[in-house]
Structure 1
Amino acid sequence: MSSPAATPIETLCLLRTSALGDVSHVVPLVRTLQQHWPQTALIWIVGKLEHKLVGDIPGVEFIIFDKGKGWQGYAAVRRALGGRRFDALLHMQVALRSNLLSGLIRARRRIGYDRARSRDGHGLFINQRIPARSGEHVLDALGSFVEPLGLKQTEVRWDLPVPEAAREFAEQHLPGTVPTLLVSPCSSHRLRNWQPQRYAAAMDHAAARGWRVVLCGGPSAYEREFGDAILGHVRERPLDLIGKDTLKQLLALLARADLVLTPDSGPMHLANAMGTAVLGLHAASNPHRSGPYSERRWCVDRYDAAARRFRGKPASELRWGTKIEHEGVMDLIAVDDVLERFEAFASLRGDA
């Protein structure tokens, strides 16, 4: 029996509005579609912040969903859709807000998650499901949305556009070839964040080894406060760029860094997409599901220890994707754990 979509379809709507890391995981799917079906019209409904990351990808029409505007945000999407009907919808987000948003999209085929990964009434808004698999990285799960269309994501490619002005910003702040540790300390999930004094200890160690250390973060008051707490503990002050860069400038900074120290967060995945090594801090989340996709050998993995401490069972007995976001869970990661991974990476670079 032939594939249900052995030939290209004309119009395809993608629905994944947030968050930054997950939206970056959709980019390889877009590249797969563009490679195999260059004539297919791609329309991507994406969040307002996330649009700043991906909105300049060629060959894609973007419709912005501003969740901060409440029902007006839904109305704006409805107007932008203009009653269009699509050959297929890839409904790649199961949150209630996204399920309701999908109700505005007219599509003959509505492809969503398998039953095990569905929630908040997701099944009511779809008529096809992706293959039911466990143990997948989030990026692979999103990539599998092309399979009901008769395609297969066999290559993972980002090629996120970075304007020349953003590259100039990064070169201005990080000139030359000094080995650089970029620290992005905050996740939007605050219980995933390491202690400020532990970040400071790791940063001082890198500085003492002759590395340039850069502290990055968004413009929120919380990230500024967290950064100041780190700065209150360091012996050698790093370059402080918290709140001073745009998303595109961050991509350029990440590309110029040698190693990025961060918890499970958007910048973790953006660094990976830019080809930069990541020293990820994992206790609240499973790095095999949501760690840096391309390479996880520099990560500190205390997820199993967290499962045993807070859930009373090994990680292998938890449902795939379980978050262990408990107060103190990140304290399972010691400074020495991070320094060991840093030194292993530095040794590979050939640092004395």
Structure 2
Amino acid sequence: MRIGDGGRRFGGVRQIAVLRGGGLGDLMFAMPAIDALAAAYPDARVTLLGTPAAAELLVGRTGSVHAFEELPVSPGVRDSGMDAPSLEDFDHRLRGRFDLAVQLHGGGRNSNPFLLRLGARHTVGTATEDAEVLERWVRYVYYQHEVLRGLEVVALAGAEPVTLDPRLTVSEDERQAVRSRLGVAGTLVAMHPGATDPRRRWSPDRFATVASARIDAGDDVVLVGDHSDRAAADAIVAAVGTDRASRLHDLVGTLPLRELPAVLAAADVMVGDDSGPRHLAVAVGTRTVGVFWFGNVINAGPMDRGRHRVLMAFVTRCPVCGVDVTQVGWTADRCEHDPSYVDEVTPEQVLTEVEDLLRTR
């Protein structure tokens, strides 16, 4: 089965480059396409062109990526990075190395010219109306699930899906080590109270209500996130209160990325916004309850409902200025306001889904 029209496999492919920078969620969305490439070209070596975080997260957790190359700073591909390789050094080391180069990094306006610098024999990817096209390409249309977009791209190289979910390996020993370190004997609920776009963030008081209810039911709760989530975590800790503090484990800003998969895999269910850690929880096999703006469900929602539940806020206009917020993507105007688009989802709705997932696991 292929997604889209597809194409024949290329012959003589021994070295494959996959371009996918961006954040944690972007990487997770690309993994099913990378798995498909590895299955279609079992004798090829797959090199991921990405950020240092990709190597930190994936080494030892997937058999589909065999090497990593850190991206240089280049507009629209990687906007910043301390100690990143220079573009000249990157080109010098990698030009002419690859038989197939795959662009899974946006609409191609910047990423296609970047990919073509590699001088690969064959190229596949997406293209907006104003982007330079590759050897085989498909039109980039914003409203498409990112996993299916990636699978449609690699289908151009003859690769068929082997999974629709990202898959990363976490051992049972790792899971148990996390639970032992936290002192958890029963149910563990993970929470990530953040998202890159503030409009996708459920407010901390709502997370606190869910955390308090689960602790009162006898569960432990672990908070995860990076330094940008510190203010939200502090608000949750304060609202949950000292009487529940022994069952609330705050790891926000202190947990190395390398250890995040094990913490999420140790949880029985994860509650989060449309964010990288929630997508990572899917990859390690943890059930999730996600709070989404409805438009993002099209691009980023989980595929099944037996393990993953989606609660949607149907906001179509900015609550501050009234501008239409359904027109999204690289051509859409964005107002200056950052209210939560998802706060109309209630804690009671989330708790109902958490309880059902725990009951039916």
| Alignment match, 2:87 | 74
- Please say if 1:200 is aligned against 2:208: yes
Other-structure match for 1:89: 101
Shift of residue 284, structure 1, vs aligned partner: 6.5
SS of equivalent to 1:68: coil
Instruction: Pick which of 228-237 and 67-76 moved more.
Output: 67-76
Choose 36-45 or 130-139, whichever is displaced more: 130-139
Letter in 2 for 1:331: D
Q: How far is 1:254 from its partner?
A: 0.9
Write out aligned runs for 1:106-145 (5 A): 106-114=119-127, 118=128, 121=130, 123-124=131-132, 126-130=134-138, 136-145=144-153
The separation in 2 between residues aligned to 1:307 and 1:157, in whole angstroms, is 28
Aligned counterpart in structure 2 of residue 233 of structure 1, from 218, 230, 239: 239
Q: Greater RCO between the two (CA within 8 Å, min separation 6)? A: 2
Which stretch shifts more, 285-294 or 129-138? 129-138
CA displacement, residues 81-140 of structure 1 (integer Å, 9 cap, x when unaligned): 1x32422211111376544532431123321215xxx27x5x215232137778642111
Closer/same/farther in 2, CA of residues 335 and 113 from structure 1, 3 Å limit: same
Task: Work out the CA distance in 2 between the residues paired with 1:210 and 1:25.
Answer: 34
Q: Any idea what SS the aligned residue of 2:120 has?
A: strand
- Alignment correspondent of 1:339: 351
Alignment partners' CA distance in 2, 1:261 and 1:159:
19
1:169 Cα shift? 4.5
Which of 31, 34, 37 is the aligned partner of 1:30? 34
Question: Contact 1:55–1:62 (CA<8 Å) still a contact in 2?
Answer: no
1:63 maps to 2:92: no
- State the match for 1:306 in structure 2: 315
Per-residue deviation, 1:78: 2.2
SS of residue matched to 1:105? coil
C-alpha distance in 1 between matches for 2:197 and 2:301: 15
Q: Equivalent residue of 1:224, what SS?
A: helix
- RMSD between aligned residues: 3.3
Task: Compare the two structures and name the one with the higher helix fraction.
Answer: 1
Q: Which amino acid is 2:315 matched to? A: A
Closer/same/farther in 2, CA of residues 166 and 15 from structure 1, 3 Å limit: same
Structure 2 letter corresponding to 1:216: V
Q: Residue 269 of structure 1: CA displacement?
A: 0.7
User: Which segments of 5 or more consecutive residues in structure 1 lack a partner in the other structure?
Assistant: none
Question: Hey, what does 1:41 align to over in structure 2?
Answer: 45
C-alpha distance after superposition, 1:292-329 (max 9, x if no partner): 34447522111xx21267678897xx679999984132
CA shift, 1:289, in A, is: 2.2
Flag the 1:135–1:328 CA change in 2: closer, same or farther, 3 A. Answer: closer
Alpha carbons of structure 1 residues 284 and 327: separation in structure 2 relative to 1, 3 Å: farther
Deviation sequence 1:130-151 (CA, Å, 0-9, x none): 3777864211111222211122
| Number of positions where the alignment pairs a residue of Structure 1 with one of Structure 2 | 336
SS class of match (2:9): coil
The CA deviation string for residues 192-237 of structure 1, in whole angstroms up to 9 with x for no partner, is: 111111111111011111111111112x2x3222211211111322
Paired residue secondary structure (1:286): helix
Residue 243 (structure 1) aligns with: 253
Aligned: 1:257 with 2:271 = no
* Change over 3 Å in CA distance of 1:46–1:239 after alignment to 2: same
Alignment of 1:167-178 (within 5 A): 167=175, 169-175=177-183, 177-178=185-186
Amino acid of the structure 1 residue aligned with 2:302: P
Quick one: which amino acid aligns to residue 188 of structure 1?
A: T
The 1:186/1:100 distance shift into structure 2, 3 A limit, reads farther
Letter in 1 for 2:278: M
In structure 2, what is the Cα distance between the partners aligned to 1:71 and 1:178? Answer: 43
Structure 1 counterpart of 2:350, one-letter code = V
Letter in 1 for 2:261: L
Which residue does the alignment assign to 2:76? none
Structure 2 CA distance, aligned partners of 1:43 and 1:338?
39
Give secondary structure in 1 for the equivalent of 2:285.
coil
Cross-structure match for 2:75: none
Q: Distance in 2 between matches of 1:71 and 1:243?
A: 23
Pick closer, same or farther for the CA change 1:168–1:348 going to 2, 3 Å: closer
Alpha-carbon deviation of 1:275?
1.0
Distance, in Å, in 2 between the alignment partners of 1:188 and 1:108 is 36
Confirm or deny: 8 A CA contact 1:137 1:293 kept in the other structure. no
* 3-state secondary structure, aligned to 2:101: strand
Question: Which one is further off, 123-132 or 40-49?
Answer: 123-132
Q: Distance in 2 between matches of 1:8 and 1:326?
A: 50
Structure 2 portions without partners, runs of 5+? 1-5, 73-79
Rounded to whole Å, the distance in 2 between the matches of 1:166 and 1:29 is 27
